[in-house]
């Protein structure tokens, strides 16, 4: 048999975590659960091979290495010990009833008054996510705007929409949509806003809502008018409040 002709249908993330910090093990395990990765043996996790899965695993691999761990990513075809049918059955057993393809995760909560950190010069997803955080997740939240790379997290801070963030893009979801899912915010009006933010931020026209071009223009105008990030948050919040009211009235 010519092994070079075997199909390579699976991605394997093989990693080893340092004993400290303690939160890293929990963080990595939760991230793998949200990605829908199946554990094979010890610290070996598998996903069906796709561009999206490669990007997800590569991002997590970088986070593990940045924290002092070791990780490698490979493509593989299983020849013995387990077959494709058994692997597919494992993924089906993890899929939630809604058919999203992601494992069910209990809604998260945070203690009010946390400092939420993101990249400075905020644009669409970060403006919308900050509004969502203060309005529905942490009513006493304060925000810190930092350089995109090199910032070291301080105790009790939570990062969003930035490198190594606790809350950032996951697969095809923008940060706003990730926050909705992670905190169990199932209001259809918020979901509609998330679709608008996704299409503006990811530039892929996945949802094609009629409101999207107008909202994109308004947010671009806010960015152009104010270089100060706090001012952008203040000016964009009423826009998101109005969107929420609009979509709520349509139900």
CA dist list (Å): 59 to 20, 56, 79, 81, 120: 20, 5, 28, 29, 21
pLDDT computed for residue 5 by the predictor: 41
CATH architecture of the domain 6-94 equals: 2-Layer Sandwich (3.30)
pLDDT computed for residue 8 by the predictor: 55
Give the C-alpha separation, 192 to 185, whole Å. Answer: 12
Place of tokens 């970088």: 62
Q: Could you tell me if residue 42 is left (phi over 0), alpha (psi between -120 and 50 degrees) or otherwise beta? A: left
Give the relative orientation of helices 229-249 and 188-202 as an angle to the nearest 10 degrees: 130
Write down the number of H helices and E strands in the chain: 8, 7
Give span(s): CATH 3.30.70.240, the chain: 6-94
Contacts of 241 (CB under 8 A, 6+ apart): 131, 135
Place of tokens 């008018």: 225
Give the C-alpha separation, 155 to 153, whole Å. Answer: 7
pTM of the model: 0.62
Instruction: Note down pLDDT in tens along the chain; length 251 residues.
Output: 344 444 458 999 999 988 877 677 877 888 888 788 888 877 899 988 887 788 888 888 888 888 888 999 998 888 888 888 788 777 766 554 444 444 445 688 899 999 999 999 999 999 999 999 999 999 999 999 999 778 888 888 999 998 878 899 887 889 999 999 999 999 999 999 999 999 999 888 889 999 999 999 999 999 999 999 999 999 999 999 999 999 999 86
Q: What are phi and psi of 205, to 5 degrees?
A: 50, 40
Give the C-alpha separation, 43 to 15, whole Å. Answer: 6
Q: Are residues 167 and 160 in contact, defined by beta-carbon separation less than 8 angstroms?
A: yes
Q: Which two tokens stand for residue 62?
A: 């970088």
């Amino acid at each position: 048999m010519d092994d070079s002709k075997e199909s390579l249908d699976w991605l394997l993330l093989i990693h080893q975590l340092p004993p400290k910090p303690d939160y890293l093990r929990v963080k990595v395990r939760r991230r793998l659960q949200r990605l829908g990765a199946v554990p094979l043996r010890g610290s070996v996790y598998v996903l069906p091979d796709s561009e999206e899965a490669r990007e997800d695993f590569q991002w997590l691999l970088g986070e593990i290495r940045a924290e002092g761990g070791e990780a490698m990513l490979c493509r593989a075809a299983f020849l013995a010990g387990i077959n494709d049918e058994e692997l597919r059955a494992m993924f089906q057993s993890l899929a939630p009833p809604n058919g999203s393809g992601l494992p069910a995760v209990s809604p998260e909560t945070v203690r009010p008054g946390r400092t939420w950190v993101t990249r400075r010069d905020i644009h669409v997803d970060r403006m919308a996510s900050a509004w969502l955080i203060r309005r529905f997740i942490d009513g006493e939240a304060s925000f810190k705007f930092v350089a995109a790379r090199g910032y070291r997290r301080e105790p009790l801070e939570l990062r969003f929409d930035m490198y190594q963030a606790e809350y950032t893009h996951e697969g095809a979801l923008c940060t706003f949509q990730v926050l909705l899912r992670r905190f169990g915010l199932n209001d259809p009006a918020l979901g509609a806003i998330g679709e608008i933010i996704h299409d503006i931020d990811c530039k892929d026209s996945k949802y094609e809502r009629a409101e999207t071009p107008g909202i994109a223009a308004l947010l671009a105008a806010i960015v152009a008018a104010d270089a100060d990030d706090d001012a952008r948050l203040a000016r964009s919040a009423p826009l998101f409040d109005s969107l929420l009211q609009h979509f709520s009235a349509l139900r």
